[in-house]
Structure 1
Amino acid sequence: MATSITTKIAKEKLIKARCGEKPLPKVMKIAFGNGGTNEVNEPLEIDLDQSSLNSELSRKNIDGYNITAYNKCEYYCTLTEQELVNEKITEVALIDEEDDVIAIRNFKAKYKDNDMQLRFFIEDEF
């Protein structure tokens, strides 16, 4: 079963935005990594204080988003045929315009071939 969190820094930014100290930065990128599982391909638990992926491979601008509920927004990004070929992807993260990781999701390995696109979704939930 996949694991996901909203990071501590994201929660701190939300509090500052709500009281008017600082505007909330937009989500801009999704990071992809291969350090989200243990040796038997089970997703690792994520620490609330974690501020990066365990083993980041690449970052890309998001393709778009969908607001799916009053408290959820789903962001998505597509890896093209040429990107991360033969990689085992096990973790993704949302990155805001200040380059901070605001959400992390670990999951069982998704293998990326060179003849296919692969789209990833990650939810931001409050």
Structure 2
Amino acid sequence: MGKCLFVLCLLFSVGNVYAQQRYYCEVKGVEKELSAGLKIIFDFGTKASYNIWGNLSSQLKFVDDKGEEIKFNSMVDAANYMVERGWKFQQAYSSLYSGNSIIHWIFFKDAANMEEAKEGIITKAEYQKMKSEQDY
């Protein structure tokens, strides 16, 4: 009886492991054009990050639970934000685009779905949608 129970528990735990999928996020640091520092961009591969003028869409900027925009001071600040939400660092590399250096850091998280992977991460658009639904 004990062996059967152990085997059943083992089978259920293995099933849960396979139910999860690995999700990735690319954190990009792009030099600001007219000021010092980096513009930090989070790319989950689900929506375009830029508007037609090449700027980060204000609707995709991250906000806290009060709707205030979160400003990142550096790539390390952005990395700490991701790690606090369960993401793991995988790889870093750099590239050049139109003479500008771009820093790329890749993070991953195992989760059942993208919503679970992004738990604790809210964009301005998501916050506004959530607030409008609460008002009804």
TM bucket, shorter chain: under 0.3
Q: TM-score if structure 1 supplies the norm length?
A: 0.28
> Which has the larger Rg?
2
Greater RCO, 1 or 2 (C-alpha within 8 Å, sep 6+): 1
Task: Give the TM-score of the pair, scaled to structure 2.
Answer: 0.26
Higher helix share: 2
Higher strand share: 1
